[in-house]
Amino acid sequence: MEVKIGFIGFGTVGRGFAEILVNKKEYLSERYGIEWKVVAIADPVWGMIHNPDGIDLKKAVELVDSGQKIESLGETGWDSIKVARESEADVIVEVTPTNIKNGEPGLTHIREALSAKKHVITTNKGPIALAYKELKALADSNGVKLGFEGTVLAGTPALNLARWPLGGVYFEEVRGIVNGTTNYILTNMEAGRSYEEVLKEAQKLGYAEADPTADVEGFDAMAKVLILANVLFDANLKVDDVERVGITHLTVEDIEKAKSEGKRWKLLAKVWREGDVVKAKVSPEMVGKNDPLFHIMGVTNALVFKTDHLGEVTIIGPGAGRTATGHALLADLIEIFGR
Ligand code: HSE
């Protein structure tokens, strides 16, 4: 089937997905019957373009990767709202930067696209953390889908695992490492490198948020625990309900002390139940060798699902990065349109 795609945002993740689409064009057609065409791209830095005959996506990625605008590849005069409302797209890829304060501009883009009866796939954590239930209801009432697999653990299928294969279990607790940047920093600090140097590297590798304060102060992990709580535990937690501590106060001495005790620091995210109340928090903790999370290093993430009748299920995999996050959008696309 022909699938017309509109990109809102064309940063690291958007281009990661675009690159996968280009590289897997034939495979997607043969295996899943998906014949894609990109009809619009709206990015405030790189350009806002529209082309109902299909934008040259390979060229668009090459241009932006080399710091050039994409305006030569389509008709200009479009903006993100117009793409969401008026373009021919069957699905909007919403990949603008996460904003955990008010979810914008992603929240408006998603509302507009769903209201225009377009499917939405997104890795944008803000809108899902702040307004999951509203957006899900909006998608349902318009007969379209909202895919957001990449908002937690990037392309590692944590949410899909929890929602489908683990469907019907009752989650008692979910605990894990959900931020790649901070785990990468802690791993490298343990190896003797400086915080500043490693943070810069994580930014260069496309792991960190546009504003990396979101990673190191725990806001990104907080968005992910809100998503876990509200989607998997059916809670209605808000930002103020989550206790949040980042890693910025950890010193080289703290890290050495943990090492001397055979432990290491991890930024842990946790959602659990206390009676009927769902609780969530993000904070650095020292973990020992018997904890499965002790062994999760670098940009890798992991989640341990504690369930009622299946015991503990653990998922481990890439937690950030251009292709790793782009993959989640591919999974969402195939779920909606694949045969
Ligand atoms: N900045 C995030 C991280 C990206 O480091 O985990 C993936 O959500």
Do strands 300-307 and 119-122 pair parallel, antiparallel, or not at all (unpaired)? unpaired
SS3 of the chain: helix, strand, coil, percent, to 5: 45, 25, 35
* 29 and 103 co-located in one domain: yes
- Which ligand 1 atom is the nearest neighbour of the CA of 301? 6
What tokens does 308 get?
A: 């009622």
* 329 and 294 co-located in one domain: no
Task: Count structural domains, the chain.
Answer: 2
Among residues 224, 279, 281, 306, the one annotated as catalytic is 224
Do strands 35-43 and 2-8 pair parallel, antiparallel, or not at all (unpaired)? parallel
Mean pLDDT of 322-332: 98
Distance CA 57, CA 14 (A): 11
> Domain limits at 41?
2-153+322-337
Query: What distance in angstroms lies between residue 242's CA and the mean position of ligand 1's atoms?
Result: 18
* 11 and 67 co-located in one domain: yes
* 288 and 267 co-located in one domain: yes
Among candidates 110, 135, 131, which has minimal Cα distance to 236?
A: 131
**Residue 154 near ligand 1, beta carbon < 6 Å:** yes
Ligand 1, atom 7, residue with closest C-alpha: 320
CATH number at residue 127: 3.40.50.720
| pLDDT one-digit tens code per residue, 81-130 | 999 999 999 999 999 999 999 999 999 999 999 999 999 999 999 999 99
Question: Which residue is listed with tokens 């499965």?
Answer: 292
Contacts of 198 (CB under 8 A, 6+ apart): 184, 185, 188, 189
DSSP state of 150: G
Structural contact between residues 44 and 132, judged by C-beta atoms closer than 8 angstroms: no
**Residue 208 near ligand 1, beta carbon < 6 Å:** yes
Q: What percent of the chain has pLDDT over 70?
A: 100
**Residue 149 near ligand 1, beta carbon < 6 Å:** no
* 194 and 167 co-located in one domain: yes
* 50 and 142 co-located in one domain: yes
What tokens does 91 get?
A: 């699905």
* 286 and 143 co-located in one domain: no
**Residue 105 near ligand 1, beta carbon < 6 Å:** no
Integer Rg of the chain from CA:
20
**Residue 19 near ligand 1, beta carbon < 6 Å:** no
Ligand 1, atom 4, residue with closest C-alpha: 320
Among candidates 77, 118, 78, which has minimal Cα distance to 94?
A: 118
Question: Which residue is listed with tokens 């939405």?
Answer: 120
- 298 confidence band (pLDDT: 50, 70, 90): very high
Q: Is 4 a catalytic residue?
A: no
* 33 and 133 co-located in one domain: yes
* 301 and 165 co-located in one domain: yes
* 179 and 285 co-located in one domain: yes
CATH number at residue 170: 3.30.360.10
**Residue 179 near ligand 1, beta carbon < 6 Å:** yes
pLDDT score, position 183: 98
* 138 and 173 co-located in one domain: no
- 17 confidence band (pLDDT: 50, 70, 90): very high
* 310 and 326 co-located in one domain: no
Strands laid side by side in the 263-274 sheet:
243-244, 277-288, 263-274, 171-177, 300-307, 312-318
- 149 confidence band (pLDDT: 50, 70, 90): very high
Query: What distance in angstroms lies between residue 142's CA and the mean position of ligand 1's atoms?
Result: 31
Distance CA 331, CA 339 (A): 13
